[in-house]
Amino acid sequence: MASAELQRLWKLSQVDAKIVEIRKTAAALDVGKAVLAQIEALKAKDAEVGGKYRSLKTEQTDLELAQKGIEEKLKRIDKELYGGKVVNPREVENFEREIVNLKKQRDHNDERLLELFDLVPPAKDAADKIESQIKAKKVELAEKQKAAIAQKAILEADFAKLNQARPEATRGIPPALMARYDGLRQRNGGIGMAECTKKQTCGHCGTVLPERTLQGLKDDKLITCESCHCILYYTEGVI
């Protein structure tokens, strides 16, 4: 049976172990870093796929406006040419030449518009798909961040309670033993004491404890693990 001092130290170590666990849990909280990386990757893809759609759509709109302008100009020329306002042969020739050029441009634009009518819809579908994926990932990110904030609040409350309880848990522990324990905690990531398991191993590092260590524990001596140097604690029936 462990001494009263070691029993008190063990209770303190349980408080400290919970504090360590809370810190680890807080550090590992999923705040959506992976999802954020996915969003950035989708944005990069959107810059390519969405950019292609926007470029095609802009070209389509510009050509449609150009066609409208050409039609209006042809109507205006036709009105001037055949409305009796233009009688000079040279002016008539210039207008006719302009009509030919405008119709060529119109035909060229029509060919490209026909191509765009086939290109724009699938490009839009691809861009919409990525945009939808980004929106879904943003919702997922917001949910993860909300859950992380809620979990963080719980951890902070538990952490505060444990820190308030710690001073009381140190009472009755000799200063020399406390100093040794705290030194071990600093070297072992906050853990200074470990239980001797039923498998006769150190509960912190898993090292199999030699017979002399087990005998020292039976004799109620202050024994440390030869591997991680944690102070060992045992209860009757374990060894």
Per-residue pLDDT tens digits for 90-136:
887 888 899 999 999 999 999 999 999 999 999 999 999 999 999 99
Alpha-carbon distance of 235 to 1, in angstroms, equals 6
Q: What are phi and psi of 44, to 5 degrees?
A: -65, -40
Statement: residue 182 has pLDDT above 80: yes
Query: Distance of alpha carbon 86 from its chain centroid, rounded?
Result: 72
pTM exceeding 0.75: no
Contact 20, 189 (CB under 8 A): yes
Helix (H, G, I), strand (E, B) or coil at 232: strand
| Domain limits, the chain | 4-21+174-233, 31-169
Residue 15 sits at the vertex; the CA angle it makes with 14 and 17, to the nearest 5 degrees, is 60
Helix (H, G, I), strand (E, B) or coil at 207: coil
Q: Containing H/E element for 108?
A: helix 89-169
What's at 145, amino acid-wise?
Q
Q: What is the pLDDT of residue 238?
A: 55
Contact 202, 225 (CB under 8 A): yes
Distances (CA, A) of 10 to 14, 49, 181: 6, 61, 10
Contact 112, 21 (CB under 8 A): no
Mean pLDDT lowest among 57-61, 90-94, 113-117, 158-162: 90-94
Q: How confident is the model at residue 220 (pLDDT cuts 50, 70, 90)?
A: confident
